Amino acid sequence: MKIIRTLIVLLASLPTIVITCAAAFVFLAIENDALVPDQPPANYQAVASGKALLKRIIQKVDSADKEFILAISEQEFRILALLGSHTFQHLNTDIHFNPTQITFRISLQLPPNPLGNYINFISQVPQSNEGIEIDRVQIGSMMLPGDWLLPLFSFLADTILQNQQATLLLSSIHGMRIEGDTALFKVHPPRDVKTRLKQAVKTLQAYRFTPGERERTVYYYGILVGISEQRYYRGTSFNDYLVPLLDEANKRQHNSSAVAENRAIVWALAIYFSSGVFETLVGDLVSSERRLARPPYNITLGGRTDLMQHFLYSAAIALATEQSIGIAVGEFKELLDSGNGGSGFSFADLAADRAGIRFAAEATSSEKLARQLQQSLVLHNNEEVFFPDISGLAEGLDEGTFQRQYGHTKSDSYLQLIELIDQRIARLLAYSGAGVKPG
């Protein structure tokens, strides 16, 4: 009886214990100050270096058929951290090497709340001859052992990717050592690493799609093909392709969601005008159902094909990711263009990027706005309804000229021009709320 009474008391106390532990965790984890300060603005060298590093890693893994050493310098790690901090608005990351371990620090800014402003993380990855290990984890003022973190990550990733894809890929790293400012990873990829990577990507892509999304995308893709066949590949405005799709979506309002229809329209446009290349980002939405068609090559916005591409691909990227990432992608493209061999930094291109992002947000943020956008563009049937005036916006700025005139992407002069661009976009009928007749 005594044992039974004890069990009853423990069970009765369990909710209180859980609530107390959760409250203690929150109290110890949330802090007022950021461990990692705001990172410096990204410049084109950082973007180019990060892109080159990722390309080198992919090529190395893709071409390997036996154990190899993958070398990544401390500076390269910091560039990746910088790009991550620039891309994700509320996240700042930095990385430090010492002779025996790598230390990762992360500060995550929280929404306004009475408890605190940040959650700070510190994790340490020591040298090892037996794979990747995490020595310890600090969350706020709590110090925790780190041996649970990788198994937890693997379990969660395996649940999503299925067939233990994450565990097998992580287990291919057989060790890590530090030599000076470089981390050397010993990698022994599985025999079928290419197949596993492709399968992991496809599985992740499948989670992006809502029921019926593939069917809707294929439907609008077919309409695009029909429009091109009628126009015999003559030069025309992007508006002449977009408006018929939105008109059709507006007619289907009784059987579907306006947001879902608009999202499928953006996917179909991006896949069609990229000749299917954009499926590498959003997944095989069209090619798994039908043969891809060759698009016309001279479709314009603002009288230019490059502006059409900036607008459309930024809209699609914004849907495939968070909106802040879409904006960063546009800025990264322009920063890359300011390097040697590029066309130079273009505020006109950046205006097209930001207009595409605004279009995607307006088209998919709510049923009301999605329907208003459809009706506004169909009613006015003109690209000036959704695409801004680019007159007076500087283009072709090389790195030196950009730095002399604007310094960096967080300077007052740069931000003033961005504000001007955003004001032009906000005044457009498609986004001002004045583009649809009452009733």
- Give CA–CA dist 73/267, Å, rounded: 37
Residue 12, phi then psi, degrees to nearest 5 = -65, -30
Q: How far apart are CA 136 and CA 153, in angstroms?
A: 15
Q: For 236-272, what is each residue's pLDDT tens digit?
A: 899 999 999 999 999 887 778 999 999 999 999 999 9
Most confident of 66-80, 291-305, 313-327: 291-305
**Residue 143 vs residue 375, higher pLDDT:** 375
How far is residue 92 from each of residues 38, 52, 109, 155, measured CA to CA in Å? 6, 22, 9, 26
- Tokens encoding 299: 């479709």
Show the tokens assigned to 370: 């999605």
Lowest-confidence range among 17-21, 80-84, 401-405, 421-425?
Answer: 17-21
Mean pLDDT over 331-350 rounds to: 65
Could you tell me the two tokens for 228?
Answer: 């091109």
Residue-wise pLDDT for 170-219, tens only, equals 777 888 999 988 999 888 776 666 666 556 655 555 555 677 888 999 99
CB-CB contact of 362 with 373 (8 Å): yes
Residue 311 has pLDDT above 90, yes or no: yes
Q: Indicate if the pLDDT at residue 225 is higher than 90.
A: yes
Q: Assign 43 to helix, strand or coil.
A: coil
Most confident of 32-46, 208-222, 385-399, 401-415: 385-399
How many residues would you count in the chain? 439
57, 224, 247, 336, 364 from 318: Cα distances, Å: 26, 21, 22, 19, 11
Burial 324-360 (b: 16+ CB within 10 A, else e): ebbbbbbbbbbbbbbbeebebbbbbbbbbbbbbbbbb
H-helix segments, 321-411: 323-337, 347-364, 367-380, 399-406
Rounded distance between C-alpha atoms, residue 82 and residue 316, angstroms: 24
Reported as type and span, the H/E element at residue 384 is none
pTM summary value: 0.59
Tokens 């067939």 found at: 163
Mean pLDDT of the chain: 79
Taking the CA atoms of residue 69, residue 75, residue 81 and residue 85 in that order, the dihedral angle to the nearest 10 degrees is -160
Q: Is the confidence at residue 26, as pLDDT, over 90?
A: no
Virtual torsion, Cα 111, 115, 117, 121, nearest 10 deg: -110
Write the DSSP assignment of 164-233 as a string of letters.
THHHHHHHTEEEEEEETTEEEEEE---TTHHHHHHHHHHHHHHTTPPTTHHHHHHHHHHHHHHHHHHHTT
Q: What per-residue confidence (pLDDT) applies to 194?
A: 60
Contact in structure between 146 and 137 (CB atoms under 8 Å): yes
Task: Round to whole Å and give the CA distance between 280 and 302.
Answer: 28
For 137-176, write each residue's pLDDT tens digit.
888 888 888 777 777 767 766 665 555 566 766 777 888 9
- The two tokens of residue 233 are 């590949």
pLDDT value of position 206: 56
| Residue 325: per-residue pLDDT | 44
**What is the pLDDT at residue 43?**
61
3-state secondary structure of 232: coil
Rounded Cα–Cα distance for residues 311 and 353 (Å) = 5
Average pLDDT over residues 46-62: 71
List, in sequence order, every residue forming a beta bridge with 184; answer none if it has no partner: 71, 177
Q: 8-17, 34-43, 181-190, 215-224: which range is least confident on average?
A: 8-17
pLDDT of residue 247: 95
Q: Is 12 helix (H, G, I), strand (E, B) or coil?
A: helix
- For residues 93 and 85, is the Cβ–Cβ distance under 8 A? yes
Tokens of 79: 């560039």
Beta bridge partners, 237, equal 300
Computed from CA positions of residues 150, 152, 157, 162, in that sequence, does the dihedral angle turn out positive or negative? Answer: positive
Report which of 156, 184, 195 is spatially closest to residue 68, judged by C-alpha positions. Answer: 184
Amino acid at the residue 68 = F
Kind of pairing between the strands at 182-187 and 101-109: unpaired
CA atoms within 13 A on the CB side of 423: 6
When mean pLDDT is compared across 354-368, 375-389, 395-409, the lowest value belongs to 395-409
